């Protein structure tokens, strides 16, 4: 006999309401709601507790990584917190790129890898983005890749867990911090840098799979500088997904989030910017109702876009697979978002 807690928490969720559930009926109400929800999310995620610092930056080397020519950079994002990232530049046959012409794309990675793995799993998407003129940045998230804490370091099979999100969640919890709050902060600092390049056009896209989709969703929800967002394998109602599958990584859990909002509201914060959601019809991480748990949330998001007359800027692509990135339609989506 087991006397468990999950049903208790599901009832708590069902009996309560999300304080920032989306109900705005006009743009003025939307603006008030957006500002208040962002402030709350910055508070509960610990984003607003991150410490500004000198953005010490170094271009360390240029390497060939998984067939790409990748510049290896490091950037200090908080005092003593260093984020390494790859920077990939498009080949430009015409020579110098005119100032202000280069769009930027950040590709945050998911679990089971770090910056190197996106160059494997999303290689076609990244190659096409480079062909379309994007400068592409692939960072390591806190706790992943070269940012793992000591118990998970090394590349031996014995290091079964590929990240230190549990440790960072536990440490951060006691300072009002979360893994996703820190990740969003780091992506904001990377955006500072990319948008500051003389050749930057000001167009910034973010696209990620799974944990990279989670980072994309939160980053885009919290920062209007993201011009277009692509999330794959990470957009669904929290009840079926994060609650009924509590074995999900600790980075998915933010204090009070289940009392605050759902993913549909995170999507609504991105309105009216172009937003692409990719789902696998048989992705178990979407929960037992699969895509129905995605479309319910997208309906909430679309209600916000409707206020702007911009419902056509939300795209939902459902493929026949599971928890995997396909990328179909994303190139056209980004081209259209750039007005090409």
> Which CB sits closer to Zn ion, 140 or 334?
140
- Closest Cα partner for 229 from 286, 180, 267, 179? 267
How far apart, in whole angstroms, are the C-alpha atoms of residue 190 and residue 54?
13
Applying CB under 5 A, the span of 128-136, 250-258, 293-301, 325-333 interacting with Zn ion comes to 250-258
Q: Which is nearer to Zn ion, 79 or 284 (CB)?
A: 284
- Pick the binder of Zn ion from 217, 251, 294, 314 (CB under 5 A): 251
For CA atoms 10, 12, 13, 15, the dihedral sign is positive
Between 146 and 197, name the residue whose CB sits nearer to Zn ion.
146
Distance in Å, CB of 258 to Zn ion, minimum = 17
The residue range among 12-20, 239-247, 248-256, 271-279 that interacts with Zn ion, by the rule CB under 5 A, is 248-256
Q: Which of residues 98-137 bind Zn ion (CB under 5 A)?
A: none
Q: With binding defined as CB under 5 A, does residue 184 bind Zn ion?
A: no
CA distances from 334 to 154, 247, 273, 274, 312 (A): 36, 34, 11, 8, 14
d(CA 252, CA 245): 11
Residues in the chain: 340
> Least distance in Å: CB of 251 to Zn ion?
3
| β pairing state of 81-88 and 68-78 | antiparallel
Q: Which two tokens stand for residue 285?
A: 């991480």
Please report, as residue ranges, which positions from 149 to 178 form the binding site for Zn ion (by CB under 5 A).
Answer: 165
Omega before residue 272 within 30° of 0, cis: yes
Q: Which is nearer to Zn ion, 105 or 251 (CB)?
A: 251
Dist CA 204 CA 192 (whole Å):
11
- What span, in angstroms and rounded, lies between the C-alpha atoms of 189 and 175? 21
Q: Taking the CA atoms of the chain, what radius of gyration do you get in angstroms?
A: 19
CA distance 70 to 77: 21
Which residue of 75, 107, 249, 304 would you call a contact of Zn ion, by CB under 5 A?
249
Choice between 208 and 274, CB closer to Zn ion: 208
For the bound state, the minimum distance from the C-beta of residue 103 to Zn ion, rounded and expressed in Å, comes to 29
- Rounded to a whole number of angstroms, the minimum distance from the CB of residue 163 to Zn ion is 6
Least CB distance from residue 108 to Zn ion, whole Å? 12
Binding-residue total with Zn ion (CB under 5 A): 3
Q: Which is nearer to Zn ion, 201 or 216 (CB)?
A: 216
Bridge partners (DSSP) of residue 278 are 232, 317
**Cβ 243 to Zn ion shortest distance, Å:** 16
**Which residues lie closer than 8 Å to 159 by C-beta, 6 or more apart?**
152, 153
> Smaller CB distance to Zn ion: residue 117 or 201?
117
> Contacts with Zn ion in 270-299 (CB under 5 A)?
none
Task: Return the number of the residue (123 or 248) whose C-beta is nearest Zn ion.
Answer: 248
Interface segment toward Zn ion; rule CB under 5 A; list 1-9, 44-52, 95-103, 247-255: 247-255
- Residue ranges that bind Zn ion, judged by CB under 5 A: 165, 249, 251
């Amino acid at each position: 006999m087991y006397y468990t807690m999950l049903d208790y928490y599901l009832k708590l969720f069902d009996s309560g309401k999300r304080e920032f559930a989306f109900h705005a009926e006009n743009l003025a109400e939307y603006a008030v709601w957006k500002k208040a929800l962002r402030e709350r999310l910055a508070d509960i995620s610990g984003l607003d507790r991150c410490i500004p610092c000198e953005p010490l930056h170094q271009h360390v080397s240029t390497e060939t990584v998984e067939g790409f020519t990748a510049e290896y950079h490091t950037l200090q994002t908080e005092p003593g917190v260093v984020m390494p990232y790859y920077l990939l530049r498009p080949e430009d046959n015409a020579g110098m790129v005119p100032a202000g012409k280069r769009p930027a794309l950040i590709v945050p990675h998911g679990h089971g890898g770090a910056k190197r793995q996106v160059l494997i799993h999303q290689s076609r998407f990244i190659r096409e983005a480079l062909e379309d003129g994007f400068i592409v940045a692939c960072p390591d998230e806190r706790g992943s890749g070269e940012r793992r804490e000591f118990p998970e370091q090394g590349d031996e099979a014995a290091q079964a867990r590929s990240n230190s999100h549990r440790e960072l969640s536990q440490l951060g919890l006691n300072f009002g911090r979360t893994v996703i709050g820190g990740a969003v902060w780091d992506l904001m600092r990377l955006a500072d840098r990319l948008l500051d390049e003389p050749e930057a056009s000001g167009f910034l896209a973010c696209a990620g799979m799974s944990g990279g989709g989670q980072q994309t969703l939160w980053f885009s929800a919290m920062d209007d500088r993201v011009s277009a967002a692509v999330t794959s394998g990470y957009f669904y109602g929290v009840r079926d997904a994060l609650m009924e599958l509590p074995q999900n990584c600790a980075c998915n859990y933010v204090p009070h989030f289940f009392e605050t909002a759902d993913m549909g509201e995170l999507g609504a914060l991105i309105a009216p910017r172009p937003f692409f959601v990719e789902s696998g019809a048989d992705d178990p991480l979407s929960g037992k109702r699969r895509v129905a748990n995605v479309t319910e949330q997208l309906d909430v998001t679309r209600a916000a876009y409707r206020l702007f007359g911009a419902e056509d800027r939300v795209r939902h692509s459902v493929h026949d697979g599971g928890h995997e990135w396909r990328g179909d339609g994303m190139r056209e989506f980004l081209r259209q978002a750039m007005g090409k």
